Amino acid sequence: MFARLAKLPVARTTSRLVRWSSNVRLTSESYPQVHRLDFGQVTPKTVDFFKSVVGDSAVITNEDDLLLYNEDQMRKYRGQSRVCVKPKNTQQVSEIVKYCNENKLALVPQGGNTGLVGGSVPVFDEIVLSLSSMDKVRSFDSTSGILKADAGLILENADNFLAENGYIFPLDLGAKGSCHIGGNVAANAGGLRLLRYGSLHGSVLGLEVVLPDGTIYDSMNALRKDNTGYDLKQLFIGSEGTLGVITGVSILCPSRPKAVNIAFLGLESYDAVQETFKRAKSELCEILSAFEFMDRQSQVQNKRFSKNTHPLAQDDPDVDVPEYPFYVLIETSGSSKEHDDAKLETFLESIMEEGIVSDGVVSQDETQLKALWNWREGISEASNMDGGVYKYDVSLPLPVMYDLIEVLRVRLDEHGLRSASDASKPVVDVVGYGHIGDGNLHVNVIVREYSKTVEKCLEPFVYQWVSDHHGSISAEHGLGFQKKNYVGYSKTDVEIALMKQIKHKFDPQGIMNPYNIIRPDPELELSEEYISSSGEANGSRFDLRASSYARSSTAVSSALSPRFLKMRKKIRPMIIEAPTAPPTAPPMMAPLFEDDFEFELPLEADADAEAEAIGVDCVT
| Level-2 CATH architecture, domain 383-468 | 2-Layer Sandwich (3.30)
- Asked whether the domain spanning 383-468 has the same topology as the one spanning 27-130, the reply is no
- How sure is the predictor about 22, in pLDDT bands with cuts at 50, 70 and 90? low
Name the least confident of 20-34, 203-217, 330-344, 382-396: 20-34
Contacts of 165 (CB under 8 A, 6+ apart): 140, 142
- List, for residues 407-463, the tens digit of each pLDDT value: 999 999 999 999 999 999 999 999 999 999 899 999 999 999 999 999 999 999 999
Can you name the CATH fold of 137-252? Answer: 3.30.465
CATH number of the domain at 2-10+258-365, please?
A: 3.30.70.2190
- How sure is the predictor about 240, in pLDDT bands with cuts at 50, 70 and 90? very high
pLDDT value at residue 561: 28
Mean of the pLDDT values across residues 201-219? 98
Name the least confident of 64-68, 251-255, 303-307, 397-401: 303-307
CB of 428 closer than 8 Å to CB of 447: yes
Contacts of 79 (CB under 8 A, 6+ apart): 26, 27, 70, 71, 108, 121, 122, 123, 124, 125, 126
H or E element in which residue 137 lies: strand 137-141
pLDDT value at residue 335: 94
Mean of the pLDDT values across residues 164-192? 95
What's the mean pLDDT when you consider all of the chain?
Answer: 84
pLDDT value at residue 23: 84
Q: What's the length of the chain? A: 620
pLDDT value at residue 584: 36
Report whether pLDDT(492) > 50: yes
- List, for residues 116-165, the tens digit of each pLDDT value: 899 999 999 999 999 999 999 999 999 999 999 999 999 999 999 999 99
CB of 167 closer than 8 Å to CB of 256: yes
Mean of the pLDDT values across residues 335-348? 96
Contacts of 190 (CB under 8 A, 6+ apart): 199, 435, 438, 440, 475, 476
* Spatial distance between the Cα atoms of 409 and 469, rounded to a whole number of angstroms: 18
Q: Between 452 and 525, where is the model more confident?
A: 452
Mean of the pLDDT values across residues 51-68? 97
What percent of the chain has a predicted confidence (pLDDT) above 70?
A: 80
Residue 500 φ/ψ, nearest 5 degrees: -65, -35
**Domain extent listing, the chain:** 2-10+258-365, 27-130, 137-252, 383-468, 520-619
CATH number of the domain at 27-130, please?
A: 3.30.43.10
- List, for residues 349-388, the tens digit of each pLDDT value: 999 999 999 999 999 999 999 999 999 999 999 999 999 9
Output the 3-class SS for 223-268: CCCCCCCCCCHHHHCCCCCCCCEEEEEEEECCECCCEEEEEEEEEC
Mapping DSSP to helix (H, G, I), strand (E, B) and coil, where does residue 589 land?
coil
Q: Between 124 and 76, where is the model more confident?
A: 124
List the one residue out of 298, 325, 299 whose CA is nearest residue 311.
Answer: 299
pLDDT value at residue 222: 87
